[in-house]
Structure formats: C-alpha cells, structure tokens
Amino acid sequence: MTGSPRRRVAITGIGAITPIGLGRDGLWTGLRAERSAVRAVTRFDASPFRTQIAAEVDDFHATDHIHAKRAKRLDRFGQFSVAAARMAVTDAHLNLASEDRERVGAMMGSALGGVGYAEEQLANFLTKGIRAVDATLALAVFGGAASCNIAIEFGVSGPNSTNAMSCASGTMAIGEALRQIRHGYADVMIAGGAEAPLAPLCYGAFALIRAMSTRNDDPSRASRPFDKDRDGFVMGEGASVLVLEEWERARSRGAPIYAELCGYGTTNDAHHMTAPLPTGAQAARAMRLALDDANVAATDIDYINAHGSSTPLNDPSETAAIRQVLGAHAERVPVSGTKGYYGHALGASGAIETAICALALARGWLPPTINHDAPDPACDLDYVALSGREARPEHAMTNSFGFGGINACLVLRRAG
C-alpha cells in the first residue's frame, strides 16, 4: 500500500483535558476567557522548592468518562489518556463497532508517563511495605500504557505506540499517526499526548535545574511567552487527543472536519540536553521539513501556535527559527504562545496546541499570548499580545521543542 498516492488526513475529533477547560468546548471557552489557570500548587506541599506554582486540572472526574471499575485500575496519566480519547471519539461521531478495527490505531506521547504515580507508590512502600503498593503499578507507569489502554478501551488493533520524546512527544505522536494514514497502514488514528507530572519529585527535579518561574507571588502572570520579563516555564498537566481519518472516508460518512493535517517534520539539535541550539537552525529545519511535507510555501503560513515555553533561552531561539524559515513574511504572521493560559504540560502540550490550531482554523479566532506586557528585542514578531484576534487563516503551523534537542512541527490547512 505504500506505493499508492499519498492520502489526505482530516482532523475529525478533539478531546481535551486542560487547566482551562475540559473537552473541545471547554478548551475553546477557556481560550476565549483570556485568563490564566496558573496558581499556587495544591496537590502537594511545594514549600521546599523555589517554585511553588503550577497549572492544575481541577474539574476532572474519571468516572464521567470511563467505567468506574476500569477507571480504578488506571492512574491519573492513564485516566487522562483514555478519557481524552473517549472525548475525541465521541466528538468525531465515530462508531467503532462498525469499523474494521484492525485499520484503527492509537499513538500517544508523554514525557514522563506514570512516574507521578510511581512516586506515590514509592511513598507507600517506604512507610508501609510492599503489600501497600498497588499491584498494577508496573502496568501503570510505563509510557506505552497510554496508547495500549486506548486500544483496549476501544478494541482497536491497528498501529500502536507511545513515544517519550520530552516536550515534543504529543506533536510527534500526531505526526507519526499522520504518516500511518497517509501511507495506507491505517484509516483512522487516535493520537495525542497526556501528562500527569504534578508530584513532588518530578516537580522538584525541574525546580532544581531552575527551569521554572519563581513568580510565586503573582502566579497568573508567571507564564509569559516571549515577554521580556519571563523567568521560566510553569508546569502544567493534562491531555489532548485527536481523531485523524483518511479524508475521503471522513467526508463520505459526514464527519465534522476541523482541519486537514498536511505536514510533519522533526529534527534534533544534537547540541545539549536542556539548552536549545541558540541559532534555531534545527528547529528551522523541522519547520521546513513540515512545509515540504505539506507542499505548502512558507509564505502561505498565516498563523503560528508557537512552542513559546516562557523560558529565557527557548523563546529567542524559536523567534530566530521562524524568521529563518519565513523571511520577510514573518513580519506579517500572527504568532500565539498559549502556554500563558495552561502552563507547560510537557509531552501533552503539543497535542493541546494542535487542537487549538484546528479550532482556530475552523472558528476564525486566534488566541492571544496573555501576559505579553513588555516587548523583548530578541522576540520581535507579532505575538497577538494580550487579546485575541478575529482572522481567517488558511494554513497554520505549530511547533514543539523538548529536552534532548527534539524539534517537531506540524502544518494544518483550513477545511474548505
């Protein structure tokens, strides 16, 4: 089947679990509110750390989406994965009982998988002994639990994997799922990212390397992508899962089509485990690869949802990369850094931001970069500062960059 013409891929379902809202409409309503969900950590005692803020998901109840018996067997990471997938499948009006489920697969991304739950169980072990440890621990903590639990939930036997490529994980999962459909290995893919990292050791590790903001006295203004006064990222949690389908089958069944997913590129800086390549050269190459894959010219891009992590090093290098790829056209392209809303959910962030791009294309509104108060000379693009903007972009690009020098980029086209 790989010798056949490339098949187009539609985004037909969106599931989301984020600090600003649940589900497709909850996410969109949260974006339109233009308010940050970052606050003081409540999940555990963060007082030992220099950073004490995060973006927590408050209103998620697993049994609203998953059978109670099954939900009990999943940790928070697993619950996020399955629940977001359930939302996406429902949103796509996809009746999997009538599908050839060998032609339906699942691909997910997560930087840390179930490590937060492992922390909790280690505490049980140290205080109460091995009999206090959840017998399903080994099945919960490995990253592959995300896509495998989705496959089990829906009985789908197509291509299945979960990558752990840091903060680019969700974006890469969606990109690899695109390839599975495009080249004929599957007709439908359930793809995205999930992360549940808000546990003391995980959180503390990032605090130790001074990667996170210390704006503890003003948490809602702590995540400020591309702003001159940014001082680090804010950790978040959540998930987003998309249903991807071969274009013609989606149209023939009357599925809602939010956007066409048309390009994917990925590279590695081969430079440093935490610091991006300052020139942004390999991030730029990932963008070019995605554009070439989509057969879209750089001058056709009219919206970018940036990685925009709010760190001193990432934001200037991403700005430089965008300028390398778009040239003079970069001056005319609106760029959103939406992590100001919901923090940085690590491997889930790229999937959340792909969902945002699809909704922006479908609904004609670009979310702002909130908290962007002070221009930075090294970050000099149109960042849709402070307030959203009505627009009708034709092509959107979304970037994700992660520890280890991972770069990933997706290109989407408005469904005409």
Residues noted as catalytic: 167, 307, 344
Q: What is the 3-state secondary structure (H, E, C) of the chain?
A: CCCCCCCCEEEEEEEEEECCEEHHHHHHHHHHHCCCCCEECCCCCCCCCCCCEEECCCCCCHHHCCCHHHHHCCCHHHHHHHHHHHHHHHHCCCCHHHCCHHHEEEEEECCCCCHHHHHHHHHHHHHHCHHHCCCCHHHHHCCCHHHHHHHHHHCCCCCEEEECCHHHHHHHHHHHHHHHHHCCCCCEEEEEEEECCCCHHHHHHHHHCCCECCCCCCHHHCCCCCCCCCCCECEECEEEEEEEEEHHHHHHCCCCCCEEEEEEEEEECCCCCCCCCCCCHHHHHHHHHHHHHHCCCHHHCCEEECCCCCCCCHHHHHHHHHHHHHHHHHHHCEEECCHHHHCECHHHHHHHHHHHHHHHHHHCEECCECCCCCCECCECCECCECCCEECCCCEEEEEEEECCCEEEEEEEEECC
369 forms beta bridges with: 385
Report which residue type is found at 172.
Answer: M
Report whether 144 contacts 90 (CB < 8 A).
no
Burial of 412 (0-12, 13-18, 19+ CB in 10 A): buried
Report whether 233 contacts 401 (CB < 8 A).
no
Identify which of 397, 2, 15, 398 has the alpha carbon closest to the alpha carbon of residue 244. 15
